[in-house]
Amino acid sequence: MNEVLLEVCDLHKSFTVSRGPLSGPPQRLRAVAGVSFSLAPGETLGLVGESGCGKSTTGRLITRLIEPDSGVIRFGGTDLTRLNQRKLRPYRRRMQMIFQDPFSSLNPRMKVFDILAEPLLLHGLATGKELAVEVGELAHRVGLGPEHLDRYPHEFSGGQRQRIGIARAIAVRPELIVADEPVSALDLSIQAQVINLLRDIQQQDGLSYLFIAHDLAVVEHISDRVAVMYLGRIVELGPARELYRHPLHPYTEALLNAVPIPDPKRRQKRQILAGEVPSPITPPAGCPFHPRCPYAGEICRVENPPLVEKDTGHHTACHYSEQVGRYRRPAAPAGS
């Protein structure tokens, strides 16, 4: 995989958190702390982790919805962090975002036709009769009919609203879509439908996805590679099949242990994580995962391990990755 569409290098972002007039000076919350990864054309990278780990912030940084403190975001070889808003506009057409909440991300005062027509008009891709044809085609691709175009977002179910959001994202024919937990607000049956829709669109258009989720089970069947985040850092990154079968970080192992196996006859030995996620305002010294890690040694309390390649394409940030591996995910049934 030599060709690279997106390259993120040492990305950092902190936010100022006010403690109130009687609680002392504001503090800095470290949301993203040195994130690096790449994404190839047509590839899906799943970005997973617990709520508050920084994965959604990473997605917004890549699309420049918020500004990074430092780091490099190369898209098609161009460093987006060096572009002003005027020069960034052509790249906004090439990168689109699907948001977690399919209701708040749609303008409640606009009908579906106008929601889908707006990006086409802004980027000068269609006008007049051609615009109506394009909007109708977009609706058809996501499973909506002509009768839906004259309705408002509140008249649709959550799954239908997310289909509208997907249609809006693909309207300008992007190369990359950042999908920020696009199915977490949907019922399980609807989640499968939306994921299958995204896969079909990817195959038809050759899109790349950064698929953000907090559930490893959700990204398993859509991702080529998976990156696991913990407290603002990527702690494991590798091919999806290899990561699910042989995790190299204890946090990934614990997340996989929490995924239920649909077999009532199989008893699953679970590894329960102790403690709570540390505060990103005052992260622990050394490895940020060491207070909860069953493998932690003295070095973990003083030295934060870098993300290094252990196997071909499989990276981890753990001093004791060789000891990780009690978890073995059962092989998928033939034909699944």
- The answer to the question of residue 207 being in a domain is no
Q: State what percent of residues in the chain have pLDDT above 70.
A: 90
pLDDT at 59 over 70: yes
In this prediction, residues 282-307 reach a mean pLDDT of: 93
pLDDT at 271: 63
- The answer to the question of residue 129 being in a domain is no
Selected residue with higher pLDDT from 327 and 296: 296
pLDDT at 216: 85
- The answer to the question of residue 22 being in a domain is no
SS (H, E, C) the chain: CCCCCEEEEEEEEEEEECCCCCCCCCEEEEEEEEEEEEECCCCEEEEECCCCCCHHHHHHHHCCCCCCCEEEEEECCEEHHHCCHHHHHHHHHHEEEECCCCCCCCCCCCCHHHHHHHHHHHCCCCCHHHHHHHHHHHHHHCCCCHHHCCCCHHHCCHHHHHHHHHHHHHCCCCCEEEEECCCCCCCHHHHHHHHHHHHHHHHHHCCEEEEEECCHHHHCCCCCEEEEEECCEEEEEEEHHHHHHCCCCHHHHHHHHCCCCCCCCCCCCCCCCCCCCCCCCCCCCCCCCHHHCCCCCHHHHHCCCCCEEEECCEEECCCCHHHCCCCCCCCCCCCC
- The answer to the question of residue 145 being in a domain is no
pLDDT at 25: 81
pTM: 0.90
Give the number of domains in the chain. 1
pLDDT at 45: 97
- The answer to the question of residue 67 being in a domain is yes
pLDDT at 336: 43
pLDDT at 43 over 50: yes
pLDDT at 265 over 70: no
- CATH at 72: 3.40.50.300
pLDDT at 332: 47
pLDDT digits (tens, 9 = 90+) for 144-193: 999 999 999 999 999 999 999 999 999 999 999 999 999 888 888 889 89
pLDDT at 148: 96
pLDDT at 125 over 70: yes
Least confident of 27-41, 86-100, 128-142, 313-327: 313-327
Average pLDDT, the chain: 89
- The answer to the question of residue 206 being in a domain is no
In this prediction, residues 127-152 reach a mean pLDDT of: 95
Highest-pLDDT range among 25-34, 95-104, 226-235: 226-235
Domain range for 71: 6-17+28-105+177-185+212-260+272-323
